[in-house]
Amino acid sequence: MTDHPIFWTFRRCPYAMRARLALLSSGVDVELREILLKDKPQEFLDTSASATVPSLRIGKQVLDESLDIMIWALKQNDPKRLLDMPENGWDLISTNDGPFKTALDHTKYASRYPELDKDAERGKAAGFLIGLDQKIGENPWLFGKHSTIADFAILPFVRQFANSDRAWFDAQPWPNLIAWLERFTDSEAFRAIMAKYKPWSKGDPPVWFSAGNQPEKV
């Protein structure tokens, strides 16, 4: 067993994206192991009880939920004060992870749910996004002038929803939300977490992921 944290991830997964955002912000060094969801290595399956990314092993402890990984990383070091957030920020994250994510899946993967009305499900998702647009207002972030864990926990899912039908998304009356999303996707942090890495194989040298030590792109 290694004596450093090992982080299993998949580049396009929004849960893994938000975990990488927190790890990047914290500056905590972790060994990044990219996987292919269609070909999961046994070492990953031995780590993650749920067999889902992200998963972080810290010694004998395993964090198998993305929000737990975010909180762990930021409790180690939080130079951007992402945890400095009003209590209702956690309620926004909970709604994102529950009703919004469900409606997002029913919209993006509508063919899997033939019994559901895609437009009605998209309307449910839109209701959450309208609320975010109003909350952002003229501020750059959800709670004012600086980003919080809520921004980074929610933004990858808003991006996923937007990309499911970008023309429709951009035509909606939520300019603050669109500007918020574009601010995120234009950021150095987004570019850093979306770099492409070779899938991990047993025997590979460690690939380090941190704010000051970005792995070589492939």
Domain ranges of the chain: 6-79+194-209, 88-186
Which amino acid, residue 102? Answer: T
> Within 12-99, where are the H helices?
14-26, 42-47, 66-76, 88-95
Averages of pLDDT over runs of 10 residues in the chain (218 residues) are 88 98 96 96 95 96 97 98 98 98 97 97 98 97 97 98 97 98 97 96 93 46
Question: If DSSP codes are grouped into helix, strand and coil, which group holds residue 216?
Answer: coil
| Domain 88-186 CATH (choose: 1.20.1050.10, 1.10.510.10, 3.40.50.720, 1.10.357.10) | 1.20.1050.10
Question: If DSSP codes are grouped into helix, strand and coil, which group holds residue 62?
Answer: strand
Give the domain 6-79+194-209 fold. Glutaredoxin (3.40.30)
What are the tokens at 62? 């395993």
d(CA 67, CA 55): 11
pLDDT of the residue at 218: 34
What are the tokens at 166? 């970008």
pLDDT of the residue at 1: 58
pLDDT of the residue at 215: 44
pLDDT of the residue at 207: 95
pLDDT of the residue at 211: 57
pTM metric for this prediction: 0.94
Which amino acid, residue 96? Answer: N
